[in-house]
Amino acid sequence: MRQTLRLTRRQILASAGAGALTLAMPALSRAQARPIFSHGVQSGDVDTASGMAWTRTDRPARVAFEWATTESFARPVRLGALDAVPGHDFAVKRLLADLPSDQDIFWRAVATDLSDVNAVSEPIVGRFRTAPASRRSIKFVWSGDTAGQGWGIDEARGGMMTYATMARHEPDFFLHSGDTIYADGPMKESVDLPDGTVWKNLVIPEKAKVAETLDEYRGQWKYNLLDANVRDMNAVVPTFFQWDDHEVVNNWSLSKDLTADDRYAEKNVRVLAARAGQAFHEMAPIRFTPEEPGRIYRKIAYGPLLDVFFLDMRSYRGPNGDAVETELSDAARILGAAQVQWLKQALSASKATWKVIAADMPLGLVVWNDGANKKGAEAVANNEPGAPLGRELEIAGLLSFIKAAGITNTVWLTADVHYTAAHHYSPDRAKFQDFEPFWEFVSGPIHSGTFGPGDLDPTFGPETRFVKAPTAEQGQNLPPSAGLQFFGIVDIDGSTEQMTVRLMDQDDVELWKTTLDPVRMG
């Protein structure tokens, strides 16, 4: 059995506001109880020799870590302890390094109350498998969009059920493609549904309003961890996180104007983004980048068959708006010059068979900044059917570089648009033709409202090979109970090196699949 600590709902809810505690609290009542781990465990950013481990206590505590290759923890490797303190909301994470490749790793943590050395927690256990150094088969899942549009945890309906569906596939890892939280999406306790039933949300104070303070952003993450399906998957499947807009506020760029939004007392989007970024790095098991603390774009080398390149299409973009630039300037960018240069170098250096580019927004789908009036580009595509303009210029340059450098077997994975689709891009159909054909696969939402489908911009020649979205009769913003919640599965065969992509729904029904043969050089 895989041992994990299961907390009662009362314990978790009681600890959700623990950020108000301080080290100076009297120890009289504290000695009566042991520390508890309030929101389970998470693992992330696993490669052949290391992985991140995360947990959170309900009070100031010293957290000791150890890992082993057996569930019995025979001959464990003990690591230095970390302090869980109010400045980081009692969250701690550390890199487990020097691990054997292609090996089940069991790690556990024990917390000692900083005000009472005799108050020691029960251990909590996490598990992941390191990436292979040889060509073994790989399976991972991806999706995005968790707890959006007011659809939260309805315990009577099983909670966030798609997480449980994904976990049953026992993937090597879960790639969360962004909108990991909905900081701008307050929840009501109940929502009347068209079928006469009622959706009943579990609600905590941080989810009753938009997030503005650091503690409110942290609360968005802790809300998702109240769900048993999420915690159970986290205990055995590492998650590789990236972010998009709802981690801060809908459609945010540095030009975001909140003046007329009465929900926000804090109108400065830079301040909100800074608080959201701190919460993201505290609450997600993402690696720390010494040269740029807070950076989200990175590469995870998952053995000889797979490298995953995580993009950040939010933090370095020019302003959202109606302007469509004709030349590549800072205002026209969506990745930023430094990130593009990093990506080109990382792709060129990659020796992996498959190069998965994890994008938090699709390339060819038109996503409007002002959806009601269909104005302004929020994503890459700008609904101008000719040669590249605006943010398309940066992507065109990247695609041309990939072709010129002879970089093969690139596949783009994304979410964001709240339905699932398979898009094939080809210069034969495109207005811009200096690139090699490639696939983009879209999945999500994992637990949010379902929308779509969207329109494709022909600049890069996208063609829809499959789509599953609400019909006109069904309408938009369908609740998770409507069944249109989606995720994808990627299997890479260790012998043939073929990649099979499957688009799935919440009930684990296979909607569509394709198998891609790798291009072999030399």
Assigned CATH for 138-516: 3.60.21.70
Is the per-residue pLDDT at 21 higher than 80?
no
| Tokens describing residue 454 | 């969207």
Is the per-residue pLDDT at 17 higher than 80?
Answer: no
**Does residue 104 have a pLDDT over 50?**
yes
For residue range 240-298, what is the model confidence (pLDDT) as tens digits? 999 999 999 999 999 999 999 999 999 999 999 999 999 999 999 999 999 999 999 99
Split at pLDDT 50, 70, 90, the class of 321 is confident
Give the residue from 435, 419, 390, 441 showing the smallest Cα distance to 505: 419
pLDDT at 16: 43
CA nearest neighbour of 179 among 220, 228, 233, 229: 220
User: How far apart, in Å, do the first and last CA atoms of the chain sit?
Assistant: 47
Kindly report, residue by residue over 496-517, the tens digit of the pLDDT. 999 999 999 999 999 999 999 9
Is the bond leading into 470 cis (omega within 30 degrees of zero)?
no
Nearest to 106 by CA among 41, 188, 202: 41
**DSSP β-ladder status, 499-505 and 486-492:** antiparallel
Task: Single out the residue of 259, 292, 217, 240 nearest to residue 128, CA to CA.
Answer: 240
Burial class (CB in 10 A: 0-12, 13-18, 19+), 421: buried
Residue 24: pLDDT band with limits 50, 70, 90: very low
What's residue 323's pLDDT?
Answer: 82
Spatial separation of the C-alpha atoms in residues 519 and 497, rounded to whole Å: 10
- What is the model's pLDDT at position 10? 42
9-21+34-129 and 138-516, same CATH topology: no
Question: What's residue 32's pLDDT?
Answer: 52
Which residues make beta-bridge pairs with 176? Answer: 143, 241
The DSSP line for 383-438 is S--SS--TTHHHHHHHHHHHHHTT---EEEEE--SSSEEEEEE-GGG-SS--S--E
With CA atoms as reference, report the closest residue to 314 among 416, 165, 456, 168: 416
Tracing tokens 């398309």 back to the chain, one arrives at: 392
Helix (H) or strand (E) holding 306: strand 306-310
Report pLDDT for 353: 98
Comparing CA positions, the residue from 236, 225, 71 lying closest to residue 168 is: 236
pLDDT for 169: 98
- What's the Cα-to-Cα distance from 448 to each of 301, 433, 441, 482, 498, rounded to whole Å? 30, 36, 19, 11, 32
The pLDDT confidence band at residue 522, using thresholds 50, 70 and 90, is low
Query: β-strands 354-358, 306-310: how paired?
Result: parallel
In which order are the strands placed within the sheet that holds 499-505? 239-241, 173-176, 138-143, 486-492, 499-505, 510-516
Residue 342 has pLDDT above 50, yes or no: yes
User: 391-412 in b/e burial notation, b at 16+ Cβ within 10 A?
Assistant: bbbbbbebbebbeeeebbbbbb
Angle formed at CA 265 by CA 263 and CA 269, multiple of 5 degrees: 95
Annotated domain spans of the chain = 9-21+34-129, 138-516
Q: What band does 18 get if pLDDT is binned at 50, 70 and 90?
A: very low
* Beta pairing class for 410-414 and 438-442: parallel
Query: Domain 9-21+34-129 falls in which CATH fold?
Result: Immunoglobulin-like (2.60.40)
C-alpha triplet 125, 137, 419: angle, nearest 5°: 80
Q: What is the pLDDT of residues 467-483, one digit of tens each?
A: 999 999 999 999 999 99
**pLDDT tens digits for range 160-214:** 999 999 999 999 999 999 999 999 999 999 999 999 999 999 999 999 999 999 9
Assess whether pLDDT exceeds 70 at residue 19. no
% of residues, the chain, pLDDT over 70: 93
**Helices marked H in 301-391 — which ranges?**
337-349
User: Does 20 have pLDDT greater than 50?
Assistant: no
Distance CA 160, CA 213 (A): 26
Task: Name the helix (H) or strand (E) containing 236.
Answer: helix 228-236
- Report pLDDT digits (tens) over 352-405: 999 999 999 999 999 999 888 888 899 999 999 899 999 999 999 999 999 999
Q: What is the dihedral of CA 201, 205, 211, 215, to 10 degrees?
A: -130
Task: Report in angstroms the alpha-carbon separations of 57 from 109, 111, 356.
Answer: 10, 7, 35
* pLDDT for residue 26: 37
pTM of the model: 0.93
Mean pLDDT over all residues of the chain?
93
**In this structure, what token pair is assigned to residue 198?**
């009622």
Q: What angle do CA 173, 74, 5 make, to 5 degrees?
A: 55
pLDDT of residue 371: 85
Span 332-338, average pLDDT: 97
Three-state SS across 361-373? CCCCECCEEECCC
Residue 91 DSSP SS3:
strand
Mean pLDDT of 148-153: 98
- From CA 168, how far away is CA 209, in angstroms rounded? 34
Which is it for strands 510-516 and 499-505: parallel, antiparallel or unpaired? antiparallel
